[in-house]
Structure 1
Amino acid sequence: MTITEYLRDAPPILSGTGPRYMQLRARLSDAIDAGILAPGNALPSERAICALTNLSRVTVRKAIQALVESGDVIQRQGSGSFVTEKAERLQQSLSHLTSFSEEMARRGMTTSVQVLDQSVSRPSRDERAALGLGADDLVSRLSRLRIADGRPLAIERAALPHDILPNPAAVTASLYDVMERSNRRPVRATQKISAINLAESDAALLRVPVGAAGLQIERLSYLPSDRVIEFTTSIFRGDAYDFVADLRL
C-alpha cells in the first residue's frame, strides 16, 4: 500500500474527534510505524495531502510541523518533508584513541566522507590557544561529514599546525593514517564532551530535525613529546552514539 492509497481509503478525518491536525498527525505517524512511509521517504506535498483528506492547507501544515517537533519528520528547504532516518545506536569507547574510519571498519561498516573544507590559513584565536601557535603561523583545516553505511553520523572539524599537515587535501580517508605515514600520529588525547542542540546547518548535514540532541567533543591530541598537534571539534548525532569509558581504581 502506498501513502496515497492509505490516506485516500482511510475514514474521513472530518468525522473524527479531537483537533483535525492532531488526527492527521496520528494518521501519518501510524503510516510511519507501519512502514508505509519508510525512513528517508518523502511525504506527499501539502497540496496532495489536502486533496486526499479534504483538509485545509493550514491544518496539513500544522500536522506536519507536529511531526517535525516530535522528530518523526525532517523538512529540507526546497525539497519537502521526509521521514527521519533512525540511526542504529553505536557504542564507542573513550579509552582508545582511534579515528572514525578505524572505528567503523572494526564494526564492519562501509565509510565515506563528504569534504566540507580543506584549507590553509592563519589560525583563529581558539586555534592559537589550543595548538600553541602564533598569529603569523599557518594552520591546516579539515572539515568533513563522516558517513557509515550511507548514514551521516558525525561532523569533524580539525585544525592542525601546517608543519604537521602541510597538505590537507592529501587526506582522503583517515587523517591518522596520513599522520602515521609521516611518523606524526598522536599517542594520547584529552577530550571534553558537551550536550548540545544541533543548529540548522549541522542538523541539515546530519539529516535530523533542527534542535535535535547532539554530542560535541573537543579533542586535543599529543605527540610523545607532549606537543599538541590536533584540535578537533566533532558533532555527533545524539540518537546514534553512546560513549563508554572504562574506569578502574
Structure 2
Amino acid sequence: MGKISESAQRSNPVRAARVITDLDEFLKQTLPRSADSGPKYAQLHAALVQAIESGVVTEGDKLPSEIELTSMTPFSLGTVQKALKALMEDGLVVRKIGAGTIVRQPDERMKQPLHCRFSGPDGVFLPVFPTLVNRQSVDETGPWTSALPENARIVRLDREIRISDAFTMVTRFYVDALAFPFFMEKDFAELHTENFKSLMQKEANIVVAAIDHKLTFIRPDPDIAARIGVAPSDQILKISVVTSITTGEAIYYQEFFIPPNDLDLAIESRLQSKF
C-alpha cells in the first residue's frame, strides 16, 4: 500500500498534459475562495489535498513542477515548495529526484500517536501509517509476563508502522484479553490504524498514570530484520514500554523495533491524563 510502481510514475504525455490542464482549472476555481484563510502555503496545500481527494489528480499522476505551479498560481516558488513539502509529510505524494512529485495511494494514518513521534530538522512530526499484520495468543513467558497481571490471558498484536517515507518499524503490543476483550473481538480492518490507547479510553474508560520506557540496542531476529529492512547482524533500537493506570497496575506492555535513521524521536515518560 502507498508504493508507486515505475509504470505509474511514467505517465503518458496525453495524461500528463491533461493533469496540468485539469489542475490549472481546479486551482483557478478553488484558490480565490480561500484567499483569506491563513498562510499562503496552507491555502495551496489545502487546494492540492482537495484536488487529490476529489480525483482531479489520482494515484500515479505526476504533479506540475515547482516552476509550473508557480506560474499557475499567485504564489512564490518558496510558497509552492513549502506546500509540496506539506503534501509529502501528509503521505499524499512521493518526491524523487528525476521523477518529480508523484501522487500516491492515500493511506490511513494513526491519529495522535504517542510513541511514534518522529521529526526532521524542522521539528514537524511525520505522519504515521500502521498496518496490523498479526494477532495471536501468547503462551510463552517474557518481560510481558511480569509486567501484566498474574492471571492475564495475554494476546499480542503486531503492526508494521511506516514513518512517512523515511522507514518502517515494527511494534509488538501485549495486553490482557480478559480485561480488554475487544482487542480479540474486533476485525483486523478495524485495528489497522486504531490508536490502541484511544480505544482503551473509549471501551474501558481508563486513566493512565505512568508510561515507562527502556531503550536498548539489539541485533534483531530474522523476522524483525526482514520487516524493517536491515540485516540480522545490524544493531537497531528496541524500546520497551510499560503503561500503568493510577492503581499502579500495568495495562499493556509494548516493544518497538526501530531501524537506524536520522530523525528525532519524542518520548513521553510520565503523564496524568485519560487516553
Q: Report the TM-score, using the length of structure 1 for normalisation.
A: 0.50
| Bigger-Rg structure (1/2) | 1
Q: Report the TM-score, using the length of structure 2 for normalisation.
A: 0.46
